[in-house]
Chains A and B, each alone.
Chain A
Amino acid sequence: MVQNSAATAVGISASKIIPLSMTALLGLFIVGFVGFSHLEVVHNAAHDTRHSLAFPCH
């Protein structure tokens, strides 16, 4: 629904949808890894970042 209204509003071309969603997914994966991974080692390495970005921690 949101995407439809966006598509009609600005005329996003179909050829853009795949690269844009790939980009967004890559970004979400990176943020998820740094900020949300339950792996202990990742948590410890990114500890101060998680606290300072107000990610849920501990």
Chain B
Amino acid sequence: MSLFRNIVFTAVIAGLLSGLLLTVMQSFSTVPLILQAEVFENAGGEAAHSHDAAPAAAGAAAPAADHHHDDEAWAPADGFERFIYTLAADMLSGIGFALVLIAASEAFGGFKGWRGGLMFGIAGFLAVILAPGLGLPPELPGMPAAELGPRQIWWVSTAVCTALGLGLLVYTRSAVFAALAVVLLIAPHLVGAPLPPSHETAVPMDLHARFVNAVYATNLVFWAVLGALAGVTRERFRAGEEVSAGSPAKLASR
């Protein structure tokens, strides 16, 4: 149980700090672009779906529940409230990613310091942001997209395949596994992401281009910091693990 507790503690620290950093970076980069895109979205569509506040007024006016959106649903008010919810969601994502990242690293002997953590963090960026982003580029509100379900399945499959492929490349030495790794890395993109029937949108291309750049840049920093922080913090919280893990495992994990 001490291993579980220590990992959770480490993940919470790394996730909270990197989530805070991510939110600060987003406030200057991606969020302003999202807000700009929502202007086009709300102007172009017949109340396609409104994320912004004014729920009382908008709720009555827009009967159509496009994109499976129910206009009655609660949404945080623009400004401070929305920022706080974004901050909370970023921190939760950071904690969740950190839990998976640390568990994966422990299965392979641990981070062994900030450098190993940084490596795992960059691998996380490749698996969770870059590889899925090749097929499903970061999208702004108001941009057309295929059905949500199939896209989520493709996204998850791509992240899992990429993570497995990277793991095989790093931790095995046989040519067969290397070939399998390459197949795993490429297969999702040969299958292809679910695409919308038309790419027409009211959102300007340059807005989208700037958004894609901002997403990749902020997430690279986020994952690098998350990994390095997890690597540093993990070293400091090992209380009680020697007892439960036994000496051979302890030696292997050091």
Which of A's residues lie within 8 Å of B, judged by CB?
2, 5-6, 9-13, 15-16, 19-24, 26-31, 33-36, 38, 40-41, 44-58
Kindly identify which residue among A13, A51, A54, A55 contacts B34, using a CB–CB cutoff of 8 Å.
A51
On whether the beta carbons of A56 and B244 are closer than 8 Å, the reply is no
13 contacts between A and B (CB under 8 A): A6-B171, A9-B171, A13-B245, A16-B107, A21-B103, A27-B100, A27-B103, A38-B148, A40-B69, A51-B30, A51-B141, A54-B129, A56-B136
Excluding A5-B171, A30-B92, A47-B75, 5 further A-B contacts by CB distance (< 8 Å) are: A5-B177, A19-B1, A29-B96, A54-B138, A58-B139
On whether the beta carbons of A52 and B31 are closer than 8 Å, the reply is yes
Q: In the assembled complex, which residues on chain A have CB atoms less than 8 Å from the CB atom of B85?
A: 45-46
Q: In the assembled complex, which residues on chain A have CB atoms less than 8 Å from the CB atom of B113?
A: none
Give the nearest-CB partner of A35 in chain B.
B93
On whether the beta carbons of A49 and B90 are closer than 8 Å, the reply is yes
Q: In the assembled complex, which residues on chain A have CB atoms less than 8 Å from the CB atom of B249?
A: 11-13, 15-16
Give the nearest-CB partner of B138 in chain A.
A54
Give the nearest-CB partner of A24 in chain B.
B103
Chain A nearest CB from B254 CB (Å) reads 12
- Interface footprint category on B: 35 or more
Q: In the assembled complex, which residues on chain B have CB atoms less than 8 Å from the CB atom of A53?
A: 93, 129, 215, 219
Q: In the assembled complex, which residues on chain B have CB atoms less than 8 Å from the CB atom of A46?
A: 85-86, 89
With A2-B164, A31-B97, A38-B148 given, is the CB distance from A48 to B73 under 8 Å?
Answer: no
CA distance A10 to B95 in the complex (A): 26
CA distance A33 to B166 in the complex (A): 25
CA distance A44 to B120 in the complex (A): 31
CA distance A56 to B92 in the complex (A): 17
